[in-house]
Amino acid sequence: MTKLELGKVEVVEGLYAYVKPENPETCKKCALSALCAMNSSQQIKMINSVNAKEGDRVKFDIDIEELNIEFIKFLTFSLFMMLVGVFGGYLIGDKLGIQRELTSILGGAIFLFIVYYIYKKVEKKGKKMPTIVEIEKEE
pLDDT digits (tens, 9 = 90+) for 2-27: 577 888 899 898 888 888 888 767 66
Entry pTM: 0.65
Q: Among 4, 33, 2, 1, which Cα is nearest to 133's?
A: 4
H-state helical runs in the chain? 64-96, 100-126
Domains of the chain: 2-63+128-135 (2.40.50.140), 68-125 (no CATH)
The dihedral through the CA atoms of 28, 34, 38, 39 has a sign that is: positive
Average pLDDT of the chain to the nearest whole number:
81
Least reliable range by pLDDT among 29-38, 41-50, 88-97, 105-114:
29-38
Q: Among 20, 16, 24, which Cα is nearest to 7's?
A: 20
Strand partners for 7 = 21, 58
* pLDDT for res 130: 81
